[in-house]
Structure 1
Amino acid sequence: MIDKQAIYHKTPKGVEAIANRQSGLAPKLRSLLIMIDGKRGYTELAAMSLVVGDCEQMLLQLAQDGFIEPVGGAVPASTASAHAVSSMANTEPAPLMVVSLPEAKRFTARLLTDLLGPSAEVLCMKIETAKNLAEFVAAVKRAREIVRDVKGNSGAENFIAQVELHTPGS
């Protein structure tokens, strides 16, 4: 069971997993890992990850796999013993969402509007008029920079994490 009172941060393995997209992490776990910054508590992470899935289970999985740990200490013994049981369980990743480019564009435009309000209009138009995945990705990269300027690094990371879950081929 995960300690819902603890604040978690990425271990060196977790930092490497974010830097290296080939870490083998399921997209939902990677998205949650991106949101973990050593400042947010369980309640905030759970609220931010509603679209991703069961926050408690995913935090437990990240802790068991050594990607996160409580700030100021190692993973609690109960988590370590749960890892032994979990490693015997079926570890098949959750099924991935199949998303079309039009769906991805709609989702991203709505997300930008929620984050930036009316000032997102030009960014949304660039995203909505993207003719292919390459143009969409280029527009999202530009949007990430604007979100970073307005909402900070954690806001930009959260934006990208959510967009990645709704991008074709992610």
Structure 2
Amino acid sequence: MIFDKTDKGREEIATRKHHLSSKFRPLLVMTDGNHSAEYLLAKVAGLGIDQHALDELLKHGFIYLLDEEPAPAAERVTAPRRIGPSSVPVSGTPVPKLADGETQLNALSHFFNETIRNTIGLRGFALQLKVERANSIDEFRALRAPYLEAVFKAKGADTALSLGGRLDELLDMHLPTQ
């Protein structure tokens, strides 16, 4: 089973509006529509998170089974998607926004490189090499989970959640990739 975030889940990551328990937040952050529930649970097992957390996120509408459609628009809350000065910066890291003529791939590469250097430091060198080799949105999307895991280990849940929300905004843009 593969899960993805609903708009409510994205909103919770960005604003903490729904006051989700801090125990469930790492699992919500890692839920990306690309990895199976078993994979996600294995990654967060060391934090004491189990199937119950996944069930709670599903029950409260933060995630949905990818085979299913999310709740109809009338039943869900649409998270504001802002990129720019209104985003919450984390300890000097740049706020993701596209400069004139910048492509989504360039923006993703810049975001990863700047935030890896500022939050993970030298421990992120191998991850930076992977970023340099990434040539598509899907390759950047595949780096999302290891990136957030490294940020979580280096700076904690709050920083990982903030950067994860900003990364999701960049990954979900519908812009030219060349």
State the TM-score, normalizing by the size of structure 2: 0.46
Of the two, which has the highest radius of gyration? 1
Bigger helix fraction: 1
